[in-house]
Structures are given as C-alpha cells and as structure tokens.
C-alpha cells in the first residue's frame, strides 16, 4: 500500500526535495546517465557500435600478451 493506505498513491522524499530534478539536469547536460543501468546500457551501445570496441579489444589482447 502507498501513502496513508490509498492504493496507487505513493510519496518520495527525494522527489519532494528536488534531488531527482537536479540529477536529471546533470544527466541531460553531461550526457551521462545517473543510474547504473543507464550507464551500463550507454556503454553497451557504444561498444556494440564500435566506438570503443577496437580500443577494448586491443587492451584485452595487450593484457594477455603482457605488453
């Protein structure tokens, strides 16, 4: 049950204080998501599109070769 036992009604202190809005503004300006899931998704998209895939592959190969 939510706030005062009314179904569908909930209360968020972070949202009331304004923390959520500040985090959203930071994420929009920097382009970096503030949630772990969002950051992982962004990194996954970048790797799959090849932006960092080549550098990552070179780094992994070099770590195995000891260079």
Q: What is the pLDDT of residue 7?
A: 78
Tens-digit pLDDT profile for residues 6-39: 777 788 888 889 888 998 998 899 888 888 888 8
- How confident is the model at residue 3, as a pLDDT? 55
- Can you give the pTM of this predicted structure? 0.49
Helix pair angle (53-65, 36-48), 10° resolution? 90
Confidence of residue 51 (pLDDT cuts 50, 70, 90): low
Handedness of CA 26, 31, 37, 39 (dihedral sign): negative
Domain range list for the chain: 10-65
């Amino acid at each position: 049950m939510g706030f005062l036992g009314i179904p569908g009604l909930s209360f968020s202190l972070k949202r009331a204080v304004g923390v959520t809005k500040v985090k959203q503004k930071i994420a929009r300006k920097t382009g970096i998501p503030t949630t772990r899931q969002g950051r992982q998704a962004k990194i996954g998209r970048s790797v799959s599109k090849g932006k960092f895939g080549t550098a990552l592959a070179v780094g992994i190969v070099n770590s195995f070769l000891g260079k």
